[in-house]
Amino acid sequence: MKPKLSPTNRDILRSLLCSRGEEAQYLRDCAARTSEELFGRAIYLRGLIEISSYCRNNCLYCGLRRDNHSAKRYRLSESQILECCSTGYKAGLRTFVLQGGEDSYWSDERLVPLIEKITVLYPDAAITLSLGERSVDSYKALYDAGASRYLLRHEAANRSLYEAIHPAEMSYNNRIESIKSLMKIGYQTGMGMMIGVPGQQVDDIVDDLQLIATLRPQMVGIGPFIPHPATPFGNFPAGDIDTTLNAVAITRLLLPHALIPATTALATLSADGHKLALGSGANVIMPNLSPTSVRGKYEIYAGKAASGTEAIEGIKALETEISAIGYRINYAKGDYNDTI
């Protein structure tokens, strides 16, 4: 029998996060069965296009931070992005994720026509954006142009922790209000956080899970913190894989219909990252569609996986990998659906 999990019971959430061994395996098995009951053993793919490594922000954990002068900066052209979409579409992908730092170059004047072109070329595909905090008017303009999903991790539900890992000019209130605005506009909205970011305590992750359960986003991305040497957090240890998997499993039980990726960060830390995440309730994998010439430049943390089964060239290998553990790829665009 699957446990009934209430987001209001902090003691249970804390205990589940800290579970290990047989208890942790039971938690993850319950989450995997919940996912299977709703989605079968099918995994959705999202084609990731990293459009810019420029960022105006100076987050303490991110290799793209403004003050990292050793970062290799680039911006994809519109034609490069459209070529990425073409490559992904031919491979069967029906979701394109345009991700980048908060780069003022990518104004609405540039993004709206680009999104409209992608929509015309691939009307049966979904466009997801992950471009940070923008104005409500910008979110609305991009939605009207054809983008239907937006990923904006809340990063930390605890205000003090949020402020400790971000520069003073970034606002906790603005991050939360931005997420609420995206939901109000009509986006399928993604939240999420890192596990093991410096200063984070178990109770902070409990806060995250309770916030996620309260706002009920359609997508939730949870991965381990991985340090980047050119950041203030460069000498801290990576986040714990077991705690990360427990957080993924708890999220699946709290939000059964959510779309939850097996994150690249987890695959970077563990060769079994896909297997571990899918066995904990994840149901999305995001192969990289970016040109191979720039993948190494989008270095938000050290050693970021962007080849093999984490890349579009590795789709056949990915099919073989997940087939070996009883899963298969579902090439549908995979909209959120809480009625299934």
For residues 172-202, b (16+ Cβ closer than 10 Å) or e, as one string? Answer: beebbebbebbbeeebbbbbbbbbbbbebee
Could you tell me how many helices (H) and strands (E) the chain has, helices first? 13, 9
The token pair at 335 is: 């909209």
- What CA–CA distance (Å, rounded) separates 260 from 143? 22
User: Within 13 Å of residue 13, how many CA atoms lie on the same side as its CB?
Assistant: 24
Give the other-Cβ count within 10 Å of 58's Cβ: 18
In contact, 189 and 179? CB cutoff 8 Å: yes
Indicate the SS3 state at residue 23.
Answer: helix
- Predicted local confidence at residue 6, as pLDDT: 86
- What CA–CA distance (Å, rounded) separates 167 from 99? 21
- Predicted local confidence at residue 1, as pLDDT: 40
User: For residue 21, how far is the Cα from the chain centroid?
Assistant: 27
- What CA–CA distance (Å, rounded) separates 9 from 117? 47
Instruction: For the chain, list residues with pLDDT below 50.
Output: 1
- Burial of residue 308 (CB within 10 Å: 0-12, 13-18, 19+) is middle
Amino acid at 185: I
Using alpha carbons only, give the angle 294, 224, 38 rounded to the nearest 5 degrees. 95
- What CA–CA distance (Å, rounded) separates 150 from 187? 6
- What CA–CA distance (Å, rounded) separates 108 from 323? 41
- Predicted local confidence at residue 305, as pLDDT: 87
Alpha helices by DSSP H, listed for the chain, are 10-18, 21-39, 78-90, 108-121, 136-145, 159-165, 172-185, 202-215, 241-254, 264-269, 273-278, 292-295, 315-323
For 69-93, the pLDDT digits (tens) are 999 999 999 999 999 999 999 999 9
pTM for the whole thing? 0.97
Amino acid at 80: Q
- Predicted local confidence at residue 29, as pLDDT: 98
- Predicted local confidence at residue 98, as pLDDT: 98
- Predicted local confidence at residue 237, as pLDDT: 98
In contact, 252 and 258? CB cutoff 8 Å: yes
